[in-house]
Structure 1
Amino acid sequence: MTVTHNVDFRAGQNAKDYTVPGLEVSTGHKIAEQLQKQLHDLNELHLTLKHAHWNVEGPNFIGVHEMLDPQIELVRGYADEIAERIVALGVAAVGVPGAIVKNRNHEDYALGFASTIDHLSALDDVYTRVIESYRESIAMTGEVDPISEDILIGHTAELEKFQWFMRAHLER
């Protein structure tokens, strides 16, 4: 028997009547909803990176395989940092798989066993999507919440560096 739970985690149903000092409650909750996009992206990214780590093959296998693990760990830490900021802003952080799938507008990572070049090319596209989303959130938070903005800027700098690592492998 399969049981499904369709829990709606929007801020209105899963929010406290507080946020961080210096912000209006409605503003803090709006920022939390924006940060939820990054949480979904980060949770999906760390799973996708691990998937590629397991399934990469061919020349440069070991270099790519070993390059991905530190990225995975850092991305998992970023997810935790974003989730904690969401909760500090007074909104429940949503980390369930169904919410990731429900709230995305892109397809699953399509590669299984594939060459290092194919995986790195596909991961380059994933990183571009995640970084573009981060930059949108930086623009939104920067006007009202420099703390969230600072967290996002720090993550973006490292995500861009990871993307550069992959792109360096793609150069011929």
Structure 2
Amino acid sequence: MTTEFTIPGLTNEQGSEVAGLLQQRLSAYNDLHLTLKHVHWNVVGPNFIGVHEMIDPQVDLVRGYADEVAERIAALGQSPKGTPGAIIDDRSWDDYSVGRDNAISHLAALDLVYTGVIETGRKIMDRIGEIDRVSEDIVIGHNAELEKFQWFVRAHLENAGGSLANSGADSESEAADQARP
């Protein structure tokens, strides 16, 4: 259901377009926080506790991003969809493919997840910025934090020469295999 109003200064069509783009972010954030929790539960090995404890704050912040985006969608006069079906309908990516594995393998796979979420966020940010600067600002803030989280992940994968253990991997499972000691 949509309303007959949106944010002042936007047309209903503009509000609807921005809400549709934010819905893509909502589904990505819901998928990401579930993926992060999956990693949190399935990481093992010598670096277990450091990675286990690094992931939970990321889960909490990404859940907060989902809430903020859902509330913005509602303010735009649209209905945010936070169901598992919405995630599936909106996603252009495959389900996270690594189960119980060592910390470095999970981080190598998670690096690719972050790359996908960040790249898509930047594209959405550019389009939203043409219509609604307030919504753009929200997405910019989220992307900045996601980029920091990816830096945390990559710090575990980087060698002294500046190369990543998962360099060139095209899939999460390939990244995990490539980084596995």
Shared fold (TM-score greater than 0.5)? Answer: yes
Counterpart selection for 2:132 from 115, 128, 145: 145
Q: How many residues align?
A: 159
Runs of 4+ off more than 6 Å: none
1:171 to partner: Cα distance:
1.6
- In the alignment, structure 2 segments of 5+ residues that lack a partner are 160-181
SS at match of 2:122: helix
Counterpart selection for 2:87 from 91, 100, 106: 100
Amino acid in structure 2 at the alignment position of 1:107: D
Normalising by structure 1, we get a TM-score of: 0.91
1:103 to partner: Cα distance:
2.2
How many Å separate the matches in 1 of 2:8 and 2:137? 17
How many Å separate the matches in 2 of 1:21 and 1:83? 18
Normalising by structure 2, we get a TM-score of: 0.86
SS at match of 1:21: coil
How many Å separate the matches in 2 of 1:105 and 1:150? 24
| Counterpart for residue 2 of structure 2 | 15
- In the alignment, structure 1 segments of 5+ residues that lack a partner are 1-13
Question: Do structure 1's residue 168 and structure 2's residue 155 form an aligned pair?
Answer: yes
Amino acid in structure 2 at the alignment position of 1:109: Y
How many Å separate the matches in 1 of 2:118 and 2:158? 21
How many Å separate the matches in 2 of 1:102 and 1:79? 16
How many Å separate the matches in 2 of 1:27 and 1:142? 12
1:137 to partner: Cα distance:
1.0
1:111 to partner: Cα distance:
1.0
Give the 5 Å matches for 1:53-132: 53-132=40-119
